[in-house]
Chain A
Amino acid sequence: MFEILRTRLRQGSRTVPFPAEQPLPERFRGLPVLDRDAATEARDLPSALLTTGADGAARLDVGACLFCPEEAGPGPAGTVRFTSDYRLASSTREGLSTDGDVTERVQALNDAARRLFGRSLRLRSVVAGSCGGCEAELVALGNVVFDLARFGIQFVASPRHADGIVITGAYSRNMQVAVQSTYDATPAPKLVIAVGACAISGGPFRGSPEVGHSAPAGVPVDLWVPGCPPHPFTLLDGLLRLLGRLPERMAATAGSTANPVDSRAVGR
């Protein structure tokens, strides 16, 4: 017992404040932006990061971004580069498509939802054809450094105990039944959070006949968190913004459009 206490004293308290005070390392690849400077010839990207908007102008789809160095560089619309901004999440799939710079993209849940979930959110993880990387970062959220529990958020063992599900993976064929069952077993009102490039757009496996695309059909998503995998700060930022817990840049009265929770808290 004495040794345990002594070790704890030596280890010290290592929980980092959030929002983070220390910047991430120089090589960290955060939000991609498009500098519309000199155009160069087209090159093949290993992902669907660069898309074309309805007006024909180039756009970046952060939900399709794999955050690999090869995605950065010059092209016909300008130069793509990664910034150090770890704030990537959005309340809508469309919100992940940018015309090349930072926008406010996570809208906090409405008042009724915040009353239910704002200080106590229980989440159930569902993995549907992933590589395991996103889950590792979700697990890291629970360690003493990121300490998800200090925000009243924790992962639970059963969908019956959960307020929402966190889906990772590219939606493999063999998980169709399990994902649907887990969603159905979660009592309403409930949230759905899609984490990682795979859950948003298929990730590196985009195009394989063994995986689906974006979220399972018919299940509305409240929060989309890009990354491959998303850094724990990106996850924390997305979750806390959704709950309206980050003071700055909080949307006024906008509610999540995907799973509206009204004051009668009627299930879906």
Chain B
Amino acid sequence: MNASGPEGFRNRIAVPFGAVPDQRVEDFRETVLLAIAAGARLLSFFGLPERDDRTRLVAVLACDESSQLSAVTTVVVDRYPALTPDCPQARTFEREIAEQCAVIPEQHPWLKPLRRHLPDHRPPGSARVILDPADHPFFHIRGEEVHEVAVGPVHAGIIEPGHFRFQAHGEEVLFLEIMLGYQHRGVEALLETTGRERAMLVAESIAGDTVIGHAGAFCGAIEALARSRKPPRAQTIRGIALELERMANHIGDLGAIAGDIAFQPAAAFFGRMRGECLNLLMTLSGNRYGRGLVRPGGVQFDLPSAMATEMRARLERLRDELAPVATLMFSNAGVQARLEGVGVLTPEQCLELGFVGPVARACNVTRDVRHDHPYGIFRFAHIPVAAAWDGDVHARALVRWIEVQRSLEFTLEQLAALPRGDSIAPCDALRPNELVVAMQEGWRGEIVHTVITDDRGAIRRHKITDPSFHNWTALAVAMPGNQISDFPLCNKSFNLSYAGHDL
């Protein structure tokens, strides 16, 4: 990939915003498309208000092989030629730009509201609205025997709200369209306007099951802009918390998948063992989801050696209890029959549409921020990237089980080898006029927090991309051809975040 962006631009390294090449919109478009054609990935693409009723667009590209980032920017008035027709990875980003900034991506093939709210990142004084939040036309397939099924926002279980519109022919799903936005709380605007202490709590609450993931990315951005020291002990404790969070959620997902195919023993046992991981986070931080732990500069709670010994003993017991249950589940012929060949995704779809996390790794698209853009403890302790090949529900379950095992081993190792020193360092004022991208491998996949400061060092733009932002499309793409009664199973095999998408 031709690195056209600022020199030395990497995960959690801030660069002067002025060093980002500022191009005319035609050249901007070409730069991005050429980079994508050369193998880069569109990491983030968003707008921010400029003077004179203009909007600045910023595209951040990632080269996973070289762990490099690059960026390019342009300024538009109320429209620009969309990237999506030539770069499907941009599809959701451009809908977001239209909604947040009231700028039209011309020729976008699917320009509909994304989170269904009025623009909140328009130039000052602008009243322009491109997308009416109340107007979300659904794709229809006409035919005598075709029928339409609507599910949500309130779903049968205890789950976040979202709307699913199926076009079905008998049992077979022909098309699935997903409409979200029910969980939109105005997170980005809050992060851009409240003080750091409140913003930290908002960051922890972007997705309540990904507290450590988002808190770590938030702090990574702030720490880079403040040039704060990163104590190794703090980085290790953060890594332990991140992997405990990954284990808790993956174990919970395995239990939920088992529950959806009525394999009750695994559902019951995994459900309890998810709680064991949450209880370990509670021992460390006082909260089952790790709230209160990750703070700018390090961690707010230290991990004394007596606690580390106790946590190791509990994890070793958990390891002994997990293995027989996983064997029970994966070796059961009935389970295999239900999980294999359902909800299939191809590697080509992952690459074209930019899917991330275990969803991509289950198609052998082995993206993992801990490996590709290492940070913190992951620069020193490498967790092998888990992968499977078939891209079906079974593969996604298998990747989760592999990751549980590897995260457990990693956590045991780190608990036995905590570096000495501080658990938190001062984190003071942010440098003005800088851009930073902080990436984190959350348990659902790549979390990206992009922050731009203004000339006073205040936050000018805080852009969040949760892995679900990309991966909701994977569910829509995988469902056609499957039975509609397999929807809950497929949905659980992806386990996407409504709140993480909606912000």
Instruction: Give residues in A with beta carbon < 8 Å to B.
Output: 3-4, 7-8, 10-11, 14, 24-25, 27-29, 44, 46-47, 66-70, 82, 125-140, 142-145, 155, 157-159, 169-170, 172-175, 178, 182, 203-205, 207-211, 228-229, 231
Q: Are A130 and B499 also in contact (CB < 8 A) when A11-B321, A208-B190 are?
A: yes
Residues of B234-292 at the interface with A, using a CB-CB cut-off of 8 Å, are: 265, 268-269, 271-272, 274-275, 278-279, 282-289, 291-292
Q: Are A210 and B283 also in contact (CB < 8 A) when A69-B300, A130-B499 are?
A: no
Note all chain B residues with C-beta closer than 8 A to A136: 208-209, 289
Note all chain B residues with C-beta closer than 8 A to A4: 265, 328
Among B49-57, B76-84, B176-184, the stretch that binds chain A is B176-184
Residues of B157-188 at the interface with A, using a CB-CB cut-off of 8 Å, are: 157-161, 181-187
Note all chain B residues with C-beta closer than 8 A to A205: 185-187, 190, 202, 205
B201, A46: Cβ atoms closer than 8 Å: yes
| B449 touches A (CB below 8 Å) | no
Query: Complex: how many Å from CA A203 to CA B186?
Result: 13
Report which residue of B157, B274, B284 has the largest number of chain A beta carbons within 10 angstroms of its beta carbon: B157
B183, A27: Cβ atoms closer than 8 Å: no
B201, A66: Cβ atoms closer than 8 Å: yes
A120 to chain B, nearest CB (A): 19
Query: Complex: how many Å from CA A66 to CA B198?
Result: 11
Q: Which residue of A lies closest to B248 (CB)?
A: A136
A27, B285: Cβ atoms closer than 8 Å: yes
Note all chain B residues with C-beta closer than 8 A to A24: 282
Query: Complex: how many Å from CA A42 to CA B393?
Result: 54
Note all chain A residues with C-beta closer than 8 A to B187: 205
Q: Are A210 and B301 also in contact (CB < 8 A) when A158-B156, A178-B153 are?
A: no
| B197 touches A (CB below 8 Å) | yes
| B117 touches A (CB below 8 Å) | yes
Q: Which residue of B lies closest to A29 (CB)?
A: B286
| B195 touches A (CB below 8 Å) | yes
A70 to chain B, nearest CB (A): 6
B154, A126: Cβ atoms closer than 8 Å: yes
Note all chain A residues with C-beta closer than 8 A to B158: 125, 127, 135, 138-139, 155
A127, B205: Cβ atoms closer than 8 Å: no
Query: Complex: how many Å from CA A27 to CA B283?
Result: 7
Note all chain A residues with C-beta closer than 8 A to B292: 29, 67-69
Query: Complex: how many Å from CA A205 to CA B194?
Result: 11
Q: Are A170 and B197 also in contact (CB < 8 A) when A4-B328, A204-B202 are?
A: no
Q: Which residue of B lies closest to A124 (CB)?
A: B154
A199 to chain B, nearest CB (A): 13
A130, B286: Cβ atoms closer than 8 Å: no
| B206 touches A (CB below 8 Å) | yes
A46, B197: Cβ atoms closer than 8 Å: yes
Query: Complex: how many Å from CA A196 to CA B292?
Result: 17
Query: Complex: how many Å from CA A8 to CA B328?
Result: 11
Extra inter-chain contacts (5) besides given A131-B206, A210-B186, CB under 8 Å? A131-B207, A172-B182, A178-B154, A203-B205, A209-B189
Residues of B445-503 at the interface with A, using a CB-CB cut-off of 8 Å, are: 497-499
* 22 residue pairs bridging A and B, Cβ less than 8 Å apart: A69-B286, A82-B286, A125-B158, A127-B158, A127-B159, A129-B183, A130-B208, A130-B499, A135-B160, A136-B209, A140-B275, A157-B156, A169-B183, A175-B153, A178-B154, A178-B182, A205-B185, A208-B186, A210-B117, A211-B186, A228-B287, A229-B208
B289, A133: Cβ atoms closer than 8 Å: yes
A27, B284: Cβ atoms closer than 8 Å: yes
A73 to chain B, nearest CB (A): 12
A173, B184: Cβ atoms closer than 8 Å: yes
B159, A209: Cβ atoms closer than 8 Å: no
B231 to chain A, nearest CB (A): 18
